[in-house]
Copies of this chain bind each other. A is one copy, B any other.
Amino acid sequence: MVNPALSPTAYALLGLLVFDRENPEGMTGYELKQRADFTLRYYWVSPAMSQIYTELRKLSEAEFVETAPSEGPTRYRVTELGEEQLQTWLFHGEVGFPILKHPVALRLLMGRLSTPDQLGSMLETHLDDLAARRADLQGVRDMLGDEHRVRYAAMVADWGLAYYDSEAQIVAGLRERLEGMD
């Protein structure tokens, strides 16, 4: 099988499988989705189920995963080749800068078309959303604890928490700045 340049999302899923490597059972597409919802969504995306199956097919064709023989649902596990290629992908070649699509900032940019009041309530809503998101991630962080096995996941969760805190602080500042306008 050839290697038709997999997408970052494919590698992200592969990473989740590697994480679960001690478990020789492998994971189903469905379980992979749960995992993605649990961690991946904070830093990347949580692909739709249909996308998960698509990526699993591609990973399978590239022989980066294999299906574990078992009755019932199809279980996937990473192959030697898969782990090897994941390592190569991870730390060789361009990592790239984060992509941000920030609908709140986009709207604030066009603030002239609105009123400080309306903008303020938009920021308020964003603060609520941030708090909810932060609480979710805190739940994840708590579940990770200080187990050595998951120390990198914990680091990234801490990163996320700090990011949400900083964003909340910045937005609160902007809201105040709006109050002193017009």
Residues of A within 8 A of B (CB): 8, 12, 15, 18-19, 39-40, 42-45, 83, 86-87, 90-91, 95-114, 118, 122, 125-126, 129, 133, 151-153, 155-156, 158-160, 162-163, 166-167, 170-171, 173-174, 177, 181
Contacts and interface: CB of A to CB of B under 8 A. Distances in A.
Contacts of A18: 110, 112-113
A101 B44 contact: yes
A87 B113 contact: yes
Nearest to A95: B103
A125 B104 CA distance: 28
B166 A97 contact: no
A39 B100 contact: no
B162 A45 contact: no
B95 A98 contact: no
A51 B174 CA distance: 32
